[in-house]
Amino acid sequence: MTEIDGSTGRPADSRMVHILYLMHGLAPFTAWLLAVGAIIMGVFVRDGVRGTYIESHVSWLSRTFWWGLLWIAIASVITFVLVITVIGLVVAWLPFTILFFWYLYRVIRGWLLLNDGKPAP
């Protein structure tokens, strides 16, 4: 059974997941290094939250990271192709900008659901 925090009435493990969301939220500004640290921390947190709605948030963050990594690779190839074509220089910034907003959208959406005590999608 998960320990309940007396001040909030929510599982005590949700504090750690709030920290994971914070790390993921700041990750785009730290060359994704905080996201790597959050994934490593999430591996250790996952066992303690099995069977609770918080587990869905740890999975949500993990999936966001791994899909983000795939999209970084794809965006790099697209940006490279756009840069080597002179016409593409104008829109070469677009793939990483889209990735940036997608990543932050997923982090903010999940964090809001955690704050409401609801499972992540």
Residue-wise pLDDT tens digits, 26-67: 999 998 999 999 999 999 999 989 999 999 999 999 999 999
Single-letter code of the amino acid located at 21: Y
pLDDT of residue 92: 87
**Structural domain range at position 77:** 14-115
Question: What's the domain count of the chain?
Answer: 1
> Worst-scoring range by mean pLDDT, 2-11, 43-52, 103-112?
2-11
Residue 9 domain flag: no
Residue 104 domain flag: yes
pLDDT at 9 over 90: no
- Mean pLDDT calculated for residue range 15-20: 94
97: left (phi over 0), alpha (psi -120 to 50) or beta: alpha
For residue 13, name the pLDDT band (cuts at 50, 70, 90). Answer: confident
Q: How many alpha carbons fall within 13 Å on the CB side of residue 24? A: 33
Distance CA 48, CA 117 (A): 17
Question: Taking Cα atoms as reference points, which of 39, 90, 91, 37 lies closest to residue 64?
Answer: 39
